Every structure is written in C-alpha cells, then in structure tokens.
Amino acid sequence: MEKIEIKTERRKETGKKATKQLRKEEKVPCVLYGGKEVIHFSAEEKAFKKLIYTSKAYLVDLYIDGEEHKAVLQDVSFHPVTDRILHIDFKEVFDDKKVDINIPVHIVGDSVGIKAGGKLRLVRRSLRVRGLPKDLPDYLEVDITPLNIGQSFKVRDLHFDNLEILDPAQAMVVGVISSRLARLGATQGGAEEAAAAAEEEAAAAEESKEEASE
C-alpha cells in the first residue's frame, strides 16, 4: 500500500467554538485513536484531498507537531450542502497488529455477460478487510471476465492473500444484469430495486446450475 505524509498540529482547544474557528481558517479537526492516547489535531483542508478524493487506500504518516504516527483513515464527515470536509477519524496502526480498513474495489476484465448485452452493477465500491499493514493493498482487484448475465460475485466468492473480508458473506459485490434491470435502476428509487432484483436474478441462475448438475 502506498504511503502519504500529512503534517498537522495538535489542537490546544476542543469544543464547538474552537472547531468552528478551525473551519473558518479552512482547517479540518481530526482525531487519532488506537495508540497510547487519543490525539486531537488539525491540518489544512487541502492537505487531505489526495487521501480522500481517490480510488485507492493509503497508509498515512501523520506528523503531529513533528511526531510521527502511522495511521489509516477510518471515517470522514462531510457538510450536507457544501460537501466540505468537516471531521476525520484516523486509527493508529502498528506493524505487528492487524487493522480493519475499507479498501476500494477495482473491476478488471471483459465480462462475457457484458459482451452479450448485459450491464455491470457494482453494488459495493469498497470492502472492509482486516490484515497487517504490510499486507494491505491500494485496492482490491476483482476480475469479472467469467460473469454472464444473471451472475454475480458475492463476498464469499472473493479471496485476497493474507486478508480477511469483514463484510457479510452473502452480500453482493458486483454482478452483470439484463438491460431491463439496468433501466429499472435508472428510475427514481430504482437503484435499490435493481440491486435486489439483480440478487434474485443471480440466485435464480445459481439454482438453475445446481438443478442442471443433479
């Protein structure tokens, strides 16, 4: 996993008034937990853009008043209207301890189902995994080449070296659906319906396979 360095400063004051002042100065209040102590700190908002607006996961070297802490991003809060970064949580990591982290899913391959007219349905854009820092990848690569229309990969179908996937085993990650379901997903509120229908379609396809093999 790639690293990114961010220079920050420890917060002398916390609370609503101090937080409001930080945001006026275009700084982001942050917290680092998981180590010997919980540390409240801040940095300029622009310092976090590479970390947050990306399709990769990073290990972060946080320099808080010059003191280095290795960490991973845990949670980000955004303003509901302006979409500005309001707050960030970091988890301190250690080389000999496993860490839980969300890592983006990258789709590769030419699906036989898409070639036949199906549409890609990416249900989970990231997966939560557990592993040692040295084993964490920038992203999780999922090859959809074998997927036909009505087929999908669920969490239980995916395996990554030295990583444990923490999402529910039955959860769909990616599937290839018919054009009809893709049109359903384009309607208002249809995305959830299409995802559910895609799961039903995939389940029906699996059932047909099992019956054919009996």
The model's pLDDT over 62-97, given as tens digits with 9 standing for 90+, comes to 999 999 999 999 999 998 988 899 999 999 999 999
User: Under CATH, to which class is 100-213 assigned?
Assistant: mainly beta
Domain ranges of the chain: 3-93, 100-213
Residue 186's pLDDT band, with cuts at 50, 70 and 90, is: very low
pLDDT in tens, 127-175: 999 999 999 999 999 999 999 999 999 999 999 999 999 999 999 999 9
Instruction: Answer whether residue 107 shows pLDDT above 90.
Output: yes
The DSSP secondary structure of 154-175, one letter per residue, reads EGGG---TT-EE-S-TT-EEEE
pLDDT of residue 211: 47
Mean local confidence (pLDDT), 45-51: 93
The CATH superfamily of 3-93 is: Ribosomal Protein L25; Chain P (2.40.240.10)
Using 50, 70 and 90 to split pLDDT, how confident is the model at 200? low
**CA 113, CA 1: separation in Å to the nearest integer?**
32
